[in-house]
């Protein structure tokens, strides 16, 4: 196991808010819900963060008014682009789907009169890259439906694959970066947005918070994974299905669970050899199925099925629950044997002591009687 130091980084959002309060935001003057009685709105006269501060603020949590007009407008435009992308037929031209994707992440790109990208010959799809290995895809392969909040700071590498029902809750104040050659399973959720934990903060300021998320190159994320704000996943990592990622994941690591835990370090090549099928005709000739499990309705068959399941788990995990139960039973048996032996030994010792007591008492009484008879003489 490689050393793990990927704990959640120290949160600096509170310190940031202490210096840059709500009125520090240039949009605050246009907000109608700010009143002189709002203490949060009058706590700071600091200017809006400069370029130097932006350089220092890399990786921190940033507050922003999601309900403000400009933010809401961008979110509505992104929602419309997502609806157009999701309504595109599955058999539509891949370049058409590519243009729909660019409408989500690059809505302000230069376009021709027909609405397509202005640059000729720059779009290479995954299908083209598979057919011609000398080409590299310029558009990620994303299966609809897909849901994105803003898209303004969403950066997905062109060689990445995103499966169906991916929900990306990105923000306009923090980058969401997905690296090269990543595979993201179905029903995954990537969250960059949050809200104040305190009830008062949620009632008064009504701010949202944004923190960056970075997914490295060659990462495989299983189905139903949730990635929380402020998390980075290292190159080559594998995230098991159903995992909740709430802390940083080192490179080349297998991580599973809710909350996530590290299982092991990954080797560069540890996959078992698999049968290679190159054509659809070959796949039709392949016999690859598991036998139907049969149950005759008896308890004996049910217990046999349970035993087989325990044996299967034993082969997969390197140690079975059944073996652990047997070991516990053997340990309890050893303890009971020790208790029985101790009890028997105690009884025997007690009997010996009692016999000795009677024996010495008899000797003492016998000597006493002998002394009395001699004195009578």
What positions carry a catalytic annotation?
195
Burial code (b: 16+ CB inside 10 Å, e: under 16) for 37-70 equals eeebbeeeeeeebeeeeeeebeebbbbbbbeeee
Contact 244, 258 (CB under 8 A): yes
Q: In a 10 Å sphere around its CB, with 0-12 CB exposed, 13-18 middle and 19+ buried, how is residue 71 labelled? A: buried
Partnered with residue 176 across adjacent β-strands are 154, 213
Instruction: Report the candidate in 198, 99, 187 with the shortest Cα–Cα distance to residue 145.
Output: 187
Q: Are 323 and 314 in contact (CB under 8 A)?
A: yes
Q: Give the orientation angle of helix 94-105 with respect to helix 69-86, to 10 degrees.
A: 170
Rg (CA), the chain: 36
Strand partners, 274: none
Pairing state between β 213-215 and 189-191: unpaired
């Amino acid at each position: 196991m490689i050393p793990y130091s990927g704990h959640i980084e120290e949160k600096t959002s509170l310190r940031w808010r202490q210096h840059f309060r709500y009125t520090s935001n240039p949009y605050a003057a246009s907000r109608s819900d700010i009143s002189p009685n709002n203490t949060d709105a009058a706590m700071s006269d600091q200017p809006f963060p400069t370029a130097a501060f932006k350089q220092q603020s890399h990786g921190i949590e940033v507050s922003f008014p999601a309900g403000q007009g400009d933010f809401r407008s961008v979110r509505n435009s992104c929602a419309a682009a997502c609806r157009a992308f999701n309504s595109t037929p599955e058999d539509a031209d891949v370049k058409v789907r590519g243009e729909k994707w660019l409408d989500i992440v690059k809505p302000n790109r230069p376009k021709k009169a027909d609405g397509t990208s202005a640059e000729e010959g720059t779009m290479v799809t995954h299908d083209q890259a598979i057919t011609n290995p000398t080409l590299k895809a310029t558009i990620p392969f994303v299966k609809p439906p897909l849901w994105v909040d803003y898209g303004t700071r969403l950066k997905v590498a062109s060689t990445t694959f995103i499966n169906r029902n991916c929900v990306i809750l990105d923000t306009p104040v923090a980058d969401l970066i997905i690296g090269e050659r990543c595979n993201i399973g179905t029903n995954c959720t990537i969250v960059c947005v949050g809200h104040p934990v305190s009830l008062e903060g949620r009632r008064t300021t009504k701010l949202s918070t944004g923190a960056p998320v970075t997914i490295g190159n060659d990462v495989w994320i299983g189905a139903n994974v949730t990635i929380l704000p402020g998390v980075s996943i290292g190159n080559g990592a594998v995230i098991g299905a159903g995992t909740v990622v709430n802390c940083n994941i080192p490179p080349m690591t297998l991580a599973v669970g809710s909350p996530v835990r590290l299982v092991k370090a990954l080797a560069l090549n540890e996959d078992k050899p698999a049968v290679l099928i190159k054509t659809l005709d070959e796949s039709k000739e392949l016999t690859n199925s598991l036998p139907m499990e049969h149950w005759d309705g008896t308890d004996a068959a049910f217990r046999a099925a349970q035993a087989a399941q325990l044996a299967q788990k034993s082969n997969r995990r390197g140690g079975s629950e059944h073996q652990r139960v047997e070991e516990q039973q053997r340990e309890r048996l050893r303890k009971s044997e020790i208790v029985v032996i101790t009890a028997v030994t105690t009884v025997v010792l007690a009997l010996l002591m009692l016999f000795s007591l009677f024996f010495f008492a008899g000797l003492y009484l016998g000597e006493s009687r002998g002394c009395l008879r001699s004195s009578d003489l």
